[in-house]
């Protein structure tokens, strides 16, 4: 108490500058009937005292037993605070040693803790940097693959599976169907989602779900075309398959999170359902750029009854739909809703109400065959054209160079060089054929 410390059994005392660090205990004995005086404080039987110390040149402190001055040397040099506890029989004295942080100083444990926190933060930063480099490398690889991808008959680029650096059918199984609960930590369940942030995120997610993102998220119409081709143009079968299949969303989340402004768990839950509902609307031939259709998509995503019937075209229909979706989870008054609550509610819709979603868009006009069936040139035909062009260009370049130099005697060497160039082009063709198949 004299040192400003609060000492409780088994507890580290606190000074007015911070938490003290316990160093250890030592013991002394005295006569049962002797008076023990420690820092001008009489320590009675069963009592205790606490004080900041001023040690002598021998790292010792002094205390009085009756009229006799005792000197006790500390085992721990960092000690600057000590408590004196006297047993009830009066004989045994326990000295508990502490290092109390003085103003502008920190105890050793605090320093070690801060050092560990700094090292952990550096490790997390390094891991994020590695992830960003891998992501950028994936984007570069995806861009390169798109540059040489076979073209459709109308000149549009052929469909590629959504996902950074992932070809169709080659997505890693570990990227499919993330567990939404795993993305919401224990601390996040108490966090709250603000109404305006949710509405803004829904508009952004809807835009990405329909238009995609070059090199990362596949455009929805391309995915629709692929699905209809697989189902022979049967919109009903395509819609059933769209609602049943899983999504590879890891690469999508990497792209989405910087834009939506809501936590990953909620983004994941919204994206998985919104993307499927948009795909169902697309296979039935609805115009996804129409605000009325977009509003119906939001209703169906939220699992509300309004999604099962057409709504009148009106200005602000999309905003009204998002408002209705928010009120479904937050109520008519609240401006905030717990993150865990809204994420779980949306995630629980996964696999449910599928028939109602399909029923909501079954009134679509359908998709004509010429809109979804776009024959793609085979990769071997494309590579063969590149191979032939490379051979001709190599021959012409070598022969033209020799002719300009006026070196007829070099004609043999020029032909040999052209032959080598042809061989290199053929080798490149074979390598590409082996990689992409034929």
DSSP for 309-337 reads S-----TTHHHHHHHHHHHHHHTTT-SEE
- What residue numbers bound the domain in which 56 lies? 14-105
Could you tell me if 273 and 337 lie in one domain? yes
Position with higher pLDDT, 271 vs 257? 271
Whether the Cβ atoms of residue 325 and residue 304 lie closer than 8 Å to each other: yes
Mean pLDDT of the chain: 70
Could you tell me if 53 and 33 lie in one domain? yes
* Last-in-domain residue among 372, 390, 415: 372
Could you tell me if 51 and 185 lie in one domain? no
Mean pLDDT, rounded, for 72-95: 84
**Look-up of token digits 């600057």:** 80
Could you tell me if 365 and 389 lie in one domain? no
Q: Is residue 110 part of a domain?
A: no
Could you tell me if 343 and 387 lie in one domain? no
In this predicted model, what pLDDT tens digit does every residue of 17-53 receive, in sequence order?
Answer: 556 778 888 888 888 778 888 877 788 888 888 877 7
Could you tell me if 200 and 334 lie in one domain? yes
Could you tell me if 367 and 421 lie in one domain? no
Whether the Cβ atoms of residue 257 and residue 264 lie closer than 8 Å to each other: yes
Mean pLDDT, rounded, for 252-262: 70
For residue 286, is pLDDT > 90? yes
CA distance 198 to 269: 13
The CA distances from residue 238 to 174, 211, 241, 355, in Å, are 25, 20, 5, 13
Residue 31 burial (C-beta neighbours within 10 Å; 0-12, 13-18, 19+)? exposed
Whether the Cβ atoms of residue 198 and residue 341 lie closer than 8 Å to each other: no
Q: Is residue 408 part of a domain?
A: yes
Could you tell me if 260 and 360 lie in one domain? yes
For residue 74, is pLDDT > 60? yes
- Mean pLDDT lowest for which of 135-149, 183-197, 240-254, 263-277? 135-149
Could you tell me if 36 and 99 lie in one domain? yes
Closest CA to 247 of 229, 283, 220, 228: 220
In this predicted model, what pLDDT tens digit does every residue of 391-409 receive, in sequence order?
Answer: 666 666 666 665 555 555 4
The two tokens of residue 189 are 């369940």
What was the pLDDT predicted at 307? Answer: 44
* Last-in-domain residue among 351, 372, 393: 372
Residue 191 burial (C-beta neighbours within 10 Å; 0-12, 13-18, 19+)? middle
Position with higher pLDDT, 277 vs 255? 277
Please enumerate in sequence order all residues whose Cβ is within 8 A of that of 167, keeping only pairs 6 or more positions apart, or say none: 145, 160, 161
CA distance 414 to 400: 9
In this predicted model, what pLDDT tens digit does every residue of 227-256 receive, in sequence order?
Answer: 898 888 888 998 888 888 776 666 566 667
Q: Is residue 40 part of a domain?
A: yes
What was the pLDDT predicted at 55? Answer: 77
CA distance 135 to 306: 40
Position with higher pLDDT, 9 vs 363? 363
Q: Is residue 249 part of a domain?
A: yes
For residue 85, is pLDDT > 60? yes
Q: Is residue 176 part of a domain?
A: yes
Could you tell me if 156 and 304 lie in one domain? yes
CA distance 16 to 1: 11
Q: Is residue 45 part of a domain?
A: yes
pLDDT tier, 278 (very low <50, low <70, confident <90, very high otherwise):
very high
Q: Is residue 342 part of a domain?
A: yes
Residue percentage of the chain with pLDDT more than 70: 57
* Last-in-domain residue among 353, 372, 391: 372
User: Model's pTM, two decimal places?
Assistant: 0.46
Could you tell me if 179 and 285 lie in one domain? yes
Whether the Cβ atoms of residue 197 and residue 261 lie closer than 8 Å to each other: yes
Could you tell me if 172 and 96 lie in one domain? no
CA distance 81 to 43: 16
How many domains is the chain partitioned into structurally? 3
Neighbours of 335 (CB within 10 A): 11
Q: Is residue 1 part of a domain?
A: no
């Amino acid at each position: 108490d004299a040192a400003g410390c609060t000492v409780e059994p088994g507890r580290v005392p606190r000074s007015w500058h911070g938490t003290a660090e316990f160093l250890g205990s030592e013991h002394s004995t005295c006569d049962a009937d002797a008076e023990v005086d420690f820092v001008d404080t009489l320590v009675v039987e069963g009592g205790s005292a606490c004080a900041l110390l001023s040690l002598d040149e021998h790292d010792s402190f002094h205390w009085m037993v009756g009229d006799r001055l005792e000197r006790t040397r500390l085992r721990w040099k960092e000690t600057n605070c000590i408590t004196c506890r006297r047993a009830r029989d009066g004989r045994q004295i326990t000295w508990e040693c502490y290092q109390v942080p003085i103003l502008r100083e920190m105890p050793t444990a605090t320093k070690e803790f801060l050092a560990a926190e700094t090292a952990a933060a550096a490790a997390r930063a390094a891991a994020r940097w590695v992830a960003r480099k891998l992501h950028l490398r994936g984007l570069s690889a995806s861009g390169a693959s798109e540059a040489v991808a076979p073209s459709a008959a109308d000149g549009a680029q052929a469909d590629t599976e959504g996902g950074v650096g992932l070809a169709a059918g080659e997505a890693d199984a570990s990227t499919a169907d993330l567990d939404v609960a795993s993305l919401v930590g224990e601390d996040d369940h108490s966090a709250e989602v603000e109404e305006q942030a949710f509405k803004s995120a829904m508009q952004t997610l809807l835009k990405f779900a329909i238009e995609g993102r070059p090199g990362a998220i596949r455009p929805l119409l391309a995915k629709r075309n692929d699905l209809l081709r697989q189902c022979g143009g049967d919109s009903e079968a395509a819609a059933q398959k769209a609602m049943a299949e899983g999504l590879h969303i890891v690469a999508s989340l990497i792209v989405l999170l910087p834009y939506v402004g809501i936590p990953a768990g909620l983004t994941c839950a919204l994206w998985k359902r919104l993307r499927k509902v948009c795909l169902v609307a697309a296979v039935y031939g609805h115009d996804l750029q129409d605000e009325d259709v977009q509003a119906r998509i939001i209703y169906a995503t939220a699992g509300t009854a309004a999604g099962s019937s057409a709504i009148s075209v009106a200005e602000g229909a999309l905003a009204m739909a998002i408002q209705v979706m928010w009120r479904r989870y937050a109520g008519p008054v609240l401006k905030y809703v717990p993150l865990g609550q809204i994420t779980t509610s949306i995630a629980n819709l996964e696999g449910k109400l599928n028939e109602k979603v399909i029923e909501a868009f079954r009134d679509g006009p359908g998709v004509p065959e010429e809109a979804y069936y776009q024959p793609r040139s085979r990769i071997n035909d494309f590579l063969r054209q590149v191979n032939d062009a490379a051979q001709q260009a190599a021959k012409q370049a070598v022969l033209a160079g020799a002719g300009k130099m006026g070196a007829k005697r070099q004609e043999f060497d020029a032909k040999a060089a052209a032959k080598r160039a042809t061989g290199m082009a053929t080798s490149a063709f074979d390598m590409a054929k082996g990689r992409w198949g034929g």
